[in-house]
Structures are given as structure tokens and as C-alpha cells.
Structure 1
Amino acid sequence: MDSKDPPTDPEKTVEEKGATEHEHTVSTADIDTSNTSDVDERQLIRRVDWRLVPWFSLLYLLSFLDRTSIGNAKLYGLEADLRISDNQYLVSLTVFFISYSIFEVPSNIFLKRMRPSVWFAFLMTMWGLMMMLQGFAHNFGGLVGLRWMLGMFEAGLYRMAYHLSCWYKRSELGIRTALFTSATTLSGAFGGLLAAAISNMHGVGGKTAWSWIFILEGLATIAAGVASYWVVQDFPEDAKFLTEKERAFMIRRLQGDDQFSAAGEKLEMRNILASFRDWKTWFGMAQLMGCDMPLYAFSLFTPSVINQLGFSATPANLLTVPIYAFAAIVTCCVAYYSDKHGRRGYCNIVMLSIGAIGYIILAVSRNAKLSYIAIYIASCGIFPVVPNTVTWVANNFEGTYKRGVSLALGISMGNLNGAVSSNVYRAKDRPWYPLGHGLVLMYICIAIIANALFLYLLKQENARRDRGERDEVIGPEGLVDNGNGRYATVEDAKREKGDNWSGYRYIL
């Protein structure tokens, strides 16, 4: 029975209608064919891809390059010139993650309240300025203050994943997220090449090589930030590069994918609080904690690890390039498979297990060549898992504010544990860093457990909905609520309950 038809049996519940109603929400019947029948969907999505993904990839490359380039700068005398100890260097890494985590959720809310083109442009320009000013730091206090400000302004840039979730179906999001997140891996490769090239500017203008790394990369970020005002696209309902007919089509295809809030949603406290009350939010935080700490540890210290295996600064940076290129390929392959087969949790568990093997080898190896090979294996359990986890979390929340806040909380927790990563590779543990490798392995095990439990609980909940245990009562006010809620129409149930609606199925 369609929700628009008068009820033939006032006692009917969604249990009796469940599958039919759910199929209706994903059918083309929801699209107003009188207005959008001539829209070529494939061509439209291809246009959206070109407008969003390449530029977001560039922005994320710059962001990760800026936050991790201090690892490259360290190899060119940063500590000696600023007269800081190894512990002070670790503190300067830590403060970035603390401010990044604190400002993550507020930044996410601002994104929905403000135009993304304005918000992203502001954030990038300001953190580019902080990045550049690091090249003029003279002491520990100046470096720490600038790292704090860098984290504050970079907070919210990973909202690009949330922004993409407002444009694509759940089965389309993974590969797009992986493509721009692969900029993380490319930033590692590009950062090594760039640092090696910039090192030749040592002494120019009275500045050292490490100073020029910060200055030039900061200037590039400022330029990209200014350009973002014109290049970044806003939400589908007001995208200027789409016609009115295409905007309507984009919104309806998202609503057909159980994204009922695609046409817009008011900022209400209940939508934000719903995120904190949802058990999935807390599992998302555990999952991202387990994979983000290894990500930052890998990116910040791989050049140093290779350096301590017997390679000087420039060769150490260059030897990171093939590692990151390999990780980028694996990341995109995993994302493509996950999108096609809808098996995000299974992919995470497999890749994390491979990464664990890599870190076991790193922890016990005392051979430079074996350790270098193990770094490739370890990268498989880090880089593909981060975008796949973010996509998985985004896939299983309906409501733009609820999804945004849940993602922000998960990413905040992940980045807060990045502060741990900046303190575990100590100079006194070189060249094999057993403590660092051991703690990263522990975090990977946490991620495996969190992913396995999340997958199990989602399967259980889907099974309950298949059995009709979550069905609402649909009909006039006189009907008795069965404990799952009573709504006049199915559309009302979707709108009010979001991903708690009985016809909503979680992605596994």
C-alpha cells in the first residue's frame, strides 16, 4: 500500500507493508519524470565528479602535506636550529592534534550553516598562513603556538567526506572518498619529493632548507584557499553549475537512497543530540581511533624510520615515494570493491589484519631490508581503512546534522589519538622503535575488535527489521502505538526517525 493511498485497513502496520514500502523509496517512481525524465544520470554524475573530487583531492593533499611536513623538516636541522630537544619536538606535534580535535565538531556545524565555498576558503587561507609562519619560527614557543593555530584552522577540512555524502548515494560514496583521501598517500610521496627539491634552497634569503619547506608549502595553500571561494561547490539544492531540473533530480535520487533529508533540514538541537544518543556514533569513534593513530604515526615518522635504517635525509624522503604510491593503489581498489559489493566492514577487518602482520614484522625485525618491505605491508592496514571507515559511518546515519556531528565526533576522537602517535617514536628507541611499532599494533587490534562488533550489531539490527520488530504503526490518530511510534504516513516516519525508520537498512 502506498503511503499516499487511503488506508484500507486501519490496523495495518509497517510490518505488513515493510518490504513494499522500502522498495518504493528506492524506485524511480519517486522522481518527477515530467520534469526530469530527460536528465542523463550518468553524464550528470560525471559532471559532479569533475566539479568535486579533483579539487577536494588537491585540498586534502595540501592539508596532509602541511600537517606532516614537519617530519621532513626535521631531517634538515629543525631541532638544532630552534635549539629544541626531542621531547619538545614531540610536544609541537601533539598540540596540533589537540586543537584539531577540539574544533572539529564546531567546524562541522558551521559548514552546514555557511556556504562550503566560503568556509573551506577561509580555513585554507588561514592555515596556509600558519604553515608559512612556521618558517619564521625562532624558538620552541613560536613553533608550538603556530602548530596549535594550524590544527585549529585545519579542523573541519575532512568535512569534505561529509560534504560528498550530501551529493552521492551510499553505494557511490566510498570510491569518491578514497580518491580524495588517497591524497594522504600522495602527500607522503609528494612531500618527500618536494622536501628533497626544496632542500636545494638552503641559504637562499638567509633561510635554511626547513624554513623554505614551510614557507613555500604555506604559500601554495594560501593560493588554493583563495581559489576555493570560486571552485568549491555548495550543496545540491543550490549548486550553481546545475540547472533547476538537475538540482531536483539530484535531490530525488538521494531521497530514493534513504537520504530523506537531502532536500534540506533545519538546525535543531534534537538533531545534534540524536548523534550523541546513537550507539553507532560511539562505535565510529572507536573505529576511527583505531585507524587514525596508525595513520599519523606512519606519516609523521616513516621518513625518520627509513633514515635510521641507514639512509641519509634526501634518500630517506625519496624512499617513501613508492610506499605511498602503492598505498594509494590499494586504497582505491578496496574502495571500489566495497562500493560494488557493500562489504565495508569485511574489507576493514581483512586490511587491518594485513597491517597487523606488517607491524609484527617491524616490531621483531632487525634487518633494514626486511623492515622496509614490512612498511609496505603495514600501509595496507592503514590507508585503505581510514576512508572506508569514514564512508561506512556516513552510510549508516540519516539526517544531515546527525550524520555530520557523528562523523565529526569520530574524526575528533581519531585525531585526538593522533596526539598519541606523535609521542611514541622516541629518539632513544631508534633505529628499530619497538615501542612505537608495538603501540601502533595495539591500536590496529582495537580497530579490528571495534569493526567486528560494529558489523555484528548492524547485522543483528537489520535482521530485527527484516522480522518486523521495529515496524511503526501507520494510520490515523486513533490507532494504538505499538512502542515503535505511530505516524500518519510512511513519509512522516522516515522524516522523524531517519535511520531508525523500520524500512532503513544498514550498510555492512
Structure 2
Amino acid sequence: MDRHDRTSVSPEPGDEKMPKEVHLEEAAPDIVVPPTGEQSQSEKKLVRKTDFVVCMMFGLSYFFAYLDRGAIGNARIMGLQQDLGLSDDRFFNCILIFFIGYAVFEGPAFYLIRVFHAPTVYAISALVFGVSALLTAYAKTYAHLLVLRLFMGFGEATVQTGFVYVSLWYRREEMSVRASYLFAFTPIAGAISGLIAYGVNRSLEGAGGHRAWQWLFIIEGAATMIWAFVIWVVLPEIPEKELAKKRPLWFKDPEERRLIEQVLGAKVQFWQIKTAIKDIKVWIMAFIAATHATGLTGFSIFLPTFIHAFGVPPLVTQLYTIIPYGVAFISLIAVTRISDRLVVRFIPMLIVTGVAIIGFIIILAQTRPAVGIFASSVVTAAVYPGVAIVSGWIPSSNAGYTKRAAATWITQIFCQAFSILASRIYNKPPRFFKGHGVLLGFFILTFILLILMTYLMKRHNQEKDTLAAELDARGERNPDESKSLEELCDHHPSYRYLY
């Protein structure tokens, strides 16, 4: 059981000051919070170490995943499409099939990391998409590229389960900023990819008999393969298995292991999948997440094409892609940090959704390259923090490991379906009116759904507060208090939604 899935904790022998009962608002997934609500130095040290080991590892995994998946957009304006003799439809099919592989494999991936050795599962997945990226340099036909993009989707699907893995180590209210740690690496990946593309285009065109776009895939794919080995060696297991290790790499201190011990107990519960499917909030949040993710995915893959369509020369286009990614990085850190400090999700999400709407309106109305790049920066400044916040909001709004995993999987199915749609609607250059117009409509609907979902969460909390007050007035206790979140999921009387 993770820190936020435990409603009662037995005190350690001889620890008279440990509270006999720690409720959801007082307890973190793997840290027992003292009655004062303040974390001890040992707990703070553990959180800092977990940030370094867990968040850093997955942040860099996201970096390499987005580096490899987005390289095809840079490679397109470097000659890949022409060299392989692809029509626009065939090129967009190669974009599309990545998301099909992603959607198909992510569900099984949640089960794999729970049952098998998680570092090995993540390392193999990184190796798969790294090898796929490297071999893309040697693709000669449409069929070659399709197969490689499909396997890249298989590999990257497992990385996305990192949000559920990370959520096992933190308080619910801490997840927003941890999501920002992970996603902060994605705009960096876009900017670095632009720099690499610019460098190889200037210096490696024709070197060793390879085109510049081939060198782009060779360099990025080889780097990912090296990273796969690092994951296998360094990444810790899920908390319960990490505690069972006799010779752990990171968490050796007895006090740290005592704190981590609070996570024990969460198992795969298949009935929770049905609970997730029946929860309307899961579907609403999936649509919200998919809208922001489609904006992020569309711009991460098509941004070089968008900027080139503004009339910017191909080589300079690679450098100009850095501008929107730089803005996105700053916005992501600032917005998620505010969201985490204030422990609010609804207001920041409503704001960034509104900003995205404004950005798409400007893009549709613009006629000058400078305005187009500015509008692209506005959109990226909105969708990157939006994806980060909602990615942390989903696991923290679903109690029970399997329900949380199922909700995340449903969300990812939406995200990949929307991304497939993006690969089909962004096919009318140079202005891409259809693609931008459809996403504008999605963001307007998302704005409305955010209000509806927050209303449902608030009503849910109020109903539990009312029942608790009535029982308290009669001097009674809810019999379900003694049960765990693994047994009751969101229906536990101590569970409250964060919004």
C-alpha cells in the first residue's frame, strides 16, 4: 500500500509518540507524518533522496523518450521524407502508428512493472525505443519506417507508467511538482533536439556517407541505449520490493527503510478496474488530459513544420524551435510550483486552458512569421504545465493502486487516440487551419469540463464531511474507517479529493 493508501498505522514498539491512527490528510504514501504535521529531518532527507533517485531517473527517461519520438519532425525538414519517397499521407501514417503501439502496450506495462523487476522492465523499454530510433537512420522504405515507429511506441509506452510508479513514493499534494520535475525534461528534449539537428545539418551532412537526418537518429538513438543501461543499474524497485532487498543500492539506512515500510500492502486488484471504468470523473479527466497532451504532442512533432511553414529557412527553423520550448520550460516550472505550493489544481488548469485557447486563436488569425512563433510559444507555455498538472492530478485523485493504474491507462488511451487524430488533422499546410481549429474546439470543451469535474469533486467531499459531522454529533464512528483504501478506493470515509 502506498503512503496515501493507508488509513491506520501501528506504532513501532517503544515508540509511544507515534499516532495510532494516521488519516489520509495526515499521512503520506511512504512517510508517517507526526501529529504536528511537520516532517522530521529523516523524512525530509528521504524525500530529497527520492527526488534525486526516482524523479531524476524518470525525468531523464522522459527526456530521451521525447528526444527520440520528436526527432522525426526535425528529420522531415532535413530530407527524410524526400529520401524515402514518402507522400504526405504516408509520412503522417508513420506518425500515427507510433501512437497505436503506445496505446496497445501501455496497459500491459502497468502489470509488468508490478509483477516483474521494474528497473529491468524500464531498461528494456528504453533499449527498445533507443534501438528503434537508431535503426531509423537506416530505414530505406515506407514499411521499414512504419515498423520502427511501431516498436518505438511499444518501448515508450512503458515509460509513461512512470507516473504511477512515482506516485507510490509521494503525498498526493506533492505530485504536481513531481510531475513538473518529470515534464521539465520534455521541453528541454525539444530544444536539445533542435540544437542537435542544427549541428548535424551544418557539420555532418554527407559524413560517412550518411545524410544529416540519419546522423540525428544515430546520435539520439545511441544515447538512449546507453541510458537504458543506467536505468537498469540505478533505478530502485517499487517500494515494497525495494524494502525486501538485502543489499539495496540507495535506501540502506534503517530509519529510511522504516519509513518506506509504510508502503507495503498494495496489490493488483482487478475489481478496481471496474470501479475506475464506472467513475465519470476518470473519463472527464481523461478528456482534459488528452486535450493538453495532444497540444503538446502535436507541437513537439510538428513544431519544425509549423515554423518552416511561416517562411523560415530549414536550417534556421531548427534554431527557432528552441524559443517555444524555452518559454514552455519556464512556464512549466512556474505554474506547477505555484500549484504545488497552494495545493490547488483547478485554478491553474483553468488558466492554462484559457491561455491555450488564446494561443490557438492568434495562430489561426496570424499572417506574419514573428506572430506565428509568438503564438506557438503561447500554446506551448500553456500545454506543458497543463500536462504536468493533470498527470499528477490523475493518480492523486484515484485511491487504490489498480484503480490509479486503470485511470491512468484510460487517460493514455484517450491521449493516444487524440494524438492519432492530430496526425490526421495536421495535414493541410501551410496554415493548418483544420488542425488548429479542431484543437481550439477541444480546449474550449476542456474549459467547461474542468468546471464540471471540480463541482463533482467538491460535492463528493461535502457529502463525506456532512456524514462525518452527523456521526460525530451522535458520538459514533464510521465502521469503514478501519478499512484501507485498497478495499474501498475513493469511497473510504477519510478520502478527500484535491482540487
Tell me the TM-score normalised to structure 1 length.
0.86
What is the RMSD of the two structures over their aligned residues, measured on CA atoms? Answer: 2.7
1:263 aligned partner: 264
- How far the C-alpha of 1:62 sits from its partner, in A, is 0.6
Q: Is 1:363–1:437's contact at 8 Å kept on the other side of the alignment?
A: yes
Q: Is 1:104–1:409's contact at 8 Å kept on the other side of the alignment?
A: no
Q: Are 2:463 and 1:453 aligned?
A: no
Number of aligned residues: 468
- How far the C-alpha of 1:32 sits from its partner, in A, is 9.3
Q: Are 2:433 and 1:434 aligned?
A: yes
Residues 433-476 of structure 1 show CA distances to partners (whole Å, capped at 9, x for unaligned) of 21221122122223222222111110111111111189999xxx
- How far the C-alpha of 1:84 sits from its partner, in A, is 0.8
SS of structure 2 residue aligned to 1:103: helix
Q: Is 1:359–1:437's contact at 8 Å kept on the other side of the alignment?
A: yes
What is the identity, as a one-letter code, of the residue corresponding to 1:26? E
1:181 aligned partner: 183
- How far the C-alpha of 1:350 sits from its partner, in A, is 0.7
Looking at structure 2, the residues matched to 352 and 41 of structure 1 have their Cα atoms a distance apart, in angstroms, of 35
Say which is worse superposed, 234-243 or 45-54, in terms of deviation.
Answer: 234-243
Q: Is 2:478–2:493's contact at 8 Å kept on the other side of the alignment?
A: no
- How far the C-alpha of 1:412 sits from its partner, in A, is 2.3
Residues 42-91 of structure 1 show CA distances to partners (whole Å, capped at 9, x for unaligned) of 22211111112222221101101111110000011111110111111011
- How far the C-alpha of 1:176 sits from its partner, in A, is 1.4
What is the identity, as a one-letter code, of the residue corresponding to 2:438? L
- How far the C-alpha of 1:493 sits from its partner, in A, is 5.4
Q: What does 1:383-462 correspond to in 2, within 5 Å?
A: 383-426=384-427, 428-430=428-430, 432-462=431-461
Superposition misfits of 4+ residues, deviation over 4 angstroms: 2-5, 20-25, 27-33, 469-473
2:310 aligned partner: 309
1:365 aligned partner: 366
Residues 1:274 and 1:472: Cα distance change in structure 2 (over 3 Å):
farther
Looking at structure 2, the residues matched to 38 and 425 of structure 1 have their Cα atoms a distance apart, in angstroms, of 52
Residues 402-443 of structure 1 show CA distances to partners (whole Å, capped at 9, x for unaligned) of 1112112202211221111122222x431x221221122122
SS of structure 2 residue aligned to 1:382: helix
- How far the C-alpha of 1:322 sits from its partner, in A, is 2.3
- How far the C-alpha of 1:235 sits from its partner, in A, is 2.0
Say which is worse superposed, 389-398 or 228-237, in terms of deviation.
Answer: 228-237
Residues 1:461 and 1:213: Cα distance change in structure 2 (over 3 Å):
same
What is the identity, as a one-letter code, of the residue corresponding to 1:504? Y
Identical-pair percentage: 26
- How far the C-alpha of 1:21 sits from its partner, in A, is 7.5
Say which is worse superposed, 235-244 or 346-355, in terms of deviation.
Answer: 235-244
1:257 aligned partner: none
Looking at structure 2, the residues matched to 76 and 70 of structure 1 have their Cα atoms a distance apart, in angstroms, of 10
What is the identity, as a one-letter code, of the residue corresponding to 2:106? E
Looking at structure 2, the residues matched to 50 and 196 of structure 1 have their Cα atoms a distance apart, in angstroms, of 31
2:16 aligned partner: none
What is the identity, as a one-letter code, of the residue corresponding to 1:168? Y
Q: Is 1:470–1:502's contact at 8 Å kept on the other side of the alignment?
A: no
Residues 1:27 and 1:194: Cα distance change in structure 2 (over 3 Å):
closer
Q: What does 1:38-187 correspond to in 2, within 5 Å?
A: 40-187=42-189
Looking at structure 2, the residues matched to 226 and 458 of structure 1 have their Cα atoms a distance apart, in angstroms, of 42
Residues 1:247 and 1:429: Cα distance change in structure 2 (over 3 Å):
same
Structure 2 residue aligned with 1:210, among 202, 205, 213?
A: 213
Residues 1:159 and 1:472: Cα distance change in structure 2 (over 3 Å):
farther
Q: Is 2:178–2:392's contact at 8 Å kept on the other side of the alignment?
A: no
1:235 aligned partner: 238
Q: Is 1:22–1:503's contact at 8 Å kept on the other side of the alignment?
A: no
2:192 aligned partner: 190
Tell me the TM-score normalised to structure 2 length.
0.88
Q: Is 2:324–2:373's contact at 8 Å kept on the other side of the alignment?
A: no
Residues 1:318 and 1:471: Cα distance change in structure 2 (over 3 Å):
farther
Residues 1:48 and 1:471: Cα distance change in structure 2 (over 3 Å):
farther
1:26 aligned partner: 26
Q: Is 1:471–1:502's contact at 8 Å kept on the other side of the alignment?
A: no
Looking at structure 2, the residues matched to 472 and 102 of structure 1 have their Cα atoms a distance apart, in angstroms, of 46
Q: Is 2:287–2:446's contact at 8 Å kept on the other side of the alignment?
A: yes
- How far the C-alpha of 1:494 sits from its partner, in A, is 4.2
- How far the C-alpha of 1:282 sits from its partner, in A, is 1.3
Looking at structure 1, the residues matched to 24 and 113 of structure 2 have their Cα atoms a distance apart, in angstroms, of 32
Looking at structure 2, the residues matched to 312 and 367 of structure 1 have their Cα atoms a distance apart, in angstroms, of 14
What is the identity, as a one-letter code, of the residue corresponding to 2:300? S
Residues 68-125 of structure 1 show CA distances to partners (whole Å, capped at 9, x for unaligned) of 1100000111111101111110111011111111111111121111222111001001
Residues 1:206 and 1:351: Cα distance change in structure 2 (over 3 Å):
same
Looking at structure 2, the residues matched to 296 and 168 of structure 1 have their Cα atoms a distance apart, in angstroms, of 27
Structure number, greater radius of gyration: 1
Q: Is 1:330–1:380's contact at 8 Å kept on the other side of the alignment?
A: yes
Q: Which runs of 5+ in 1 are unaligned?
A: 6-19, 253-261, 474-478, 480-484
Looking at structure 2, the residues matched to 121 and 471 of structure 1 have their Cα atoms a distance apart, in angstroms, of 52
Looking at structure 1, the residues matched to 323 and 261 of structure 2 have their Cα atoms a distance apart, in angstroms, of 41
